[in-house]
Amino acid sequence: MKRTLCKVESLLRRLSVGKRLALAVAVLVVPMTVLIVVSVLVLERQEARLHRSVEEAVTLLVPLATLEYDLQRALTDVLAAETGESVPDYGGLTGAIDRLFSQLAGTASDRDLPPQSVARARSAWQSARPAIEGLVEQARPLHLAGDTPGFASVRRRLASAIGDLQQVQTHLSTAIKRRAARAVQTQQRQLEWLVGAWGVTLLIATAGLVLIVHSIVRPVRALGRTVQRLGAGDLTARADTDAGDELGAVAGYLNAMARHFVAWKRVTEDAANQDALTGLPNRRGILAALEAALAASAATQGSVGVLMIDVDRFKTINDQYGHAAGDQALNWVAQVLSSQLRGDDQVGRYAGDEFLAVLPGAGHEEARQIAERLCERVIQSARSDPRRPTLTLGVAASRGGEASAEALIAAADRALYRGKQAGRGRVGIG
């Protein structure tokens, strides 16, 4: 599942942020619009079906009820002939009811009316119809007294016709009620389907929207974390640039800025720790190297040798040959020292005409031997050129990593002072 979501997010991140936002709007609007249209159509269909059901009930039951009412009135008023009132149009009513049953015979299955109920209603109507037709024929000449045998016969026939009509109404009412119940069930199922469709659509739309928003928010947060790490000093922090959207481009720019900053920081650190003239570490750089060597020796109980180196006759060279010759002399000394020291040794310009060499792992005796070799090498090279100076060196070494940088430098400086007192171009022992 997680792998699938990652693939979907990767596909989304191929789109621009603007396109993803447009897709998010479409994910919400399009399904909702379709559902609204479908819901309106379903509700309109249900309303039309309900209207049709009411109309059918009126069409089927009103003629029967009217005919029953008129027969009841005739039974009470003896067909109203005695009073001179007009006789109801039984013929028209019976014809209308016949037409209704003819329509039901052709459309009952379509209207979903139970066929048994319709058949029973038709049978009851067929039983009532002859009596009603006979009453219609006798309605006008009826001038009978209430106790005559003819009047009693009419009353019996009226009562029988009324009973038959009531049976017709009962059967038709049962059929209409059953059809209405099935219509209500159908409407209920449609409404349940609509509610389910709304729920599923909202769930899918929400999931799609969450994925789209996550494809935007997650890389933004990742960029924020990368910026925080860079701000905290972690220059190795890099942002993810796999995506081809605007956020991927921003991540690429951020990574490029981080690389440029690292390069710039390295240059500035080198400039801060490097002597501009000789290219050797400056005072800050060589002191940092000494501290690192002492820290390493403290862990191994080893030794660190230190050489304090002074350029002899440097002021004389400047005065006689100029400052350019003095700079050349310092550069020459720096090259000799760098070429003659061991691979792990470091030398830096400590002051104007003073150099400091750090000899990791070298005890006092080994440091002295290295210092004498340097001194001899410089003396031999200086004999052929008066602008090349000799060196005076002071030697000191730590024992078991106990000495501090300040103590070692002070010891080497004292040894250098003793060497100068004894005569330049030699090694003083601390």
Q: Residue 128 burial by CB count (10 A; 0-12/13-18/19+): exposed, middle or buried?
A: buried
Same domain, 178 and 47: yes
Shared-domain flag, residues 203 and 109: yes
User: So what's the pLDDT on residue 139?
Assistant: 46
Q: Which of residues 157, 180, 211 is at a domain's end? A: 211
Strands of 427-429's sheet in order across: 346-349, 354-360, 304-311, 391-397, 427-429
Is 137 inside a domain boundary?
yes
- The residue behind tokens 């509700």 is 43
Q: What is the pLDDT of residue 170?
A: 76
The token pair at 27 is 């994910």
Mean pLDDT of 4-11: 66
Residue 63: its pLDDT value, please?
Answer: 65
Residue 86, pLDDT above cutoff 70: no
Do 170 and 305 lie in one domain? The reply is: no
Residue 98 has pLDDT above 50, yes or no: yes
What pLDDT sits at residue 348? 92
> Does a structural domain hold residue 221?
no
What integer pLDDT is reported at residue 261 of this predicted model? 78
pLDDT score recorded for residue 20 = 73
In a domain, 241, yes or no: no
Residues 5-27, mean pLDDT to the nearest whole number: 70
Contact yes or no for 350/356 (Cβ under 8 A) = yes
Between 104 and 413, the more confident residue is 413
pLDDT cut 70: percent of the chain above it: 67
Q: Answer yes or no: do 315 and 416 share one domain.
A: yes
Which domain-ending residue is among 211, 244, 259? 211
- Regarding whether 395 and 321 lie in a shared domain, the answer is yes
Task: Give the pLDDT of residue 328.
Answer: 92
Who has greater pLDDT, 357 or 51?
357
| pLDDT tier at 331, thresholds 50, 70, 90 | very high
Number of domains in the chain: 2
Name the least confident of 92-96, 367-371, 394-398: 92-96
Q: Is residue 268 part of a domain?
A: no
Residue for token digits 């998010």?
24
Looking up residue 415, the CATH number of its domain turns out to be: 3.30.70.270
Give percent of the chain above pLDDT 90: 9
Same-domain pairing of 285 and 357: yes
Residue 375 lies in a domain: yes
Q: Are residues 151 and 292 in the same domain?
A: no
Please compute the mean of the pLDDT values over residues 255-260 and round it to a whole number.
82
Domain annotation covers residue 230: no
Q: What pLDDT, in 10s, does the model give residues 260-318?
A: 877 777 766 666 778 888 888 998 888 988 988 888 888 778 889 999 999 988 888 88
Q: Which of 160, 187, 211 is the last residue of a domain?
A: 211
Whether pLDDT at 183 is above 60: yes
Domain membership flag for residue 244: no
* Residue 335 belongs to domain spanning: 274-429
Mean pLDDT of 232-258: 78
Position 161 confidence tier, pLDDT thresholds 50, 70, 90: low
Say if residue 285 is in the same domain as residue 397. Answer: yes
Span 184-214, pLDDT tens digits: 787 788 788 888 888 888 888 888 778 777 7
238 assigned to some structural domain: no
Cα gap 338→357, rounded to integer Å? 10
Residue 76 and residue 178 share a domain:
yes
Give the pLDDT confidence score for residue 396 in this predicted structure. 92
On whether both 199 and 285 belong to a single domain, the answer is no
Q: Say whether both 180 and 279 belong to one domain.
A: no
Q: How many angstroms separate the CA atoms of 250 and 243, rounded?
A: 10
| Whether residue 280 is found in the same domain as residue 408 | yes
Amino acid at 292: A
DSSP collapsed to 3 states, the chain: CHHHHHHHHHHHCCCCHHHHHHHHHHHHHHHHHHHHHHHHHHHHHHHHHHHHHHHHHHHHHHHHHHHHHHHHHHHHHHHHCCCCCCCCCHHHHHHHHHHHHHHHHHHCCCCCCCHHHHHHHHHHHHHHHHHHHHHHHHCCCCCCCCCCHHHHHHHHHHHHHHHHHHHHHHHHHHHHHHHHHHHHHHHHHHHHHHHHHHHHHHHHHHHHHHHHHHHHHHHHHHHHHHHHHHHCCCCCCCCCCCCCCHHHHHHHHHHHHHHHHHHHHHHHHHHHHECCCCCCECHHHHHHHHHHHHHHHHHHCCCEEEEEEEECCHHHHHHHHCHHHHHHHHHHHHHHHHHHCCCCCEEEECCCCEEEEEEECCCHHHHHHHHHHHHHHHHHHHCCCCCCCCEEEEEEECCCCCCCHHHHHHHHHHHHHHHHHHCCCCEEEC
Predicted local distance difference test score (pLDDT) of residue 191: 81
pLDDT value at residue 69: 64
Question: What pLDDT shows up at residue 221?
Answer: 81
The pLDDT of 353-373, averaged and rounded, is: 90
Q: What is the per-residue pLDDT for 43?
A: 77
Calculate the average pLDDT of the chain: 76
pLDDT digits (tens, 9 = 90+) for 27-69: 777 877 887 888 888 777 777 776 676 676 666 666 666 666 6
Residue predicted with more confidence, 86 or 372: 372
Q: Specify the pLDDT at position 79.
A: 46
Residue 347 banded pLDDT, cuts 50, 70, 90: very high
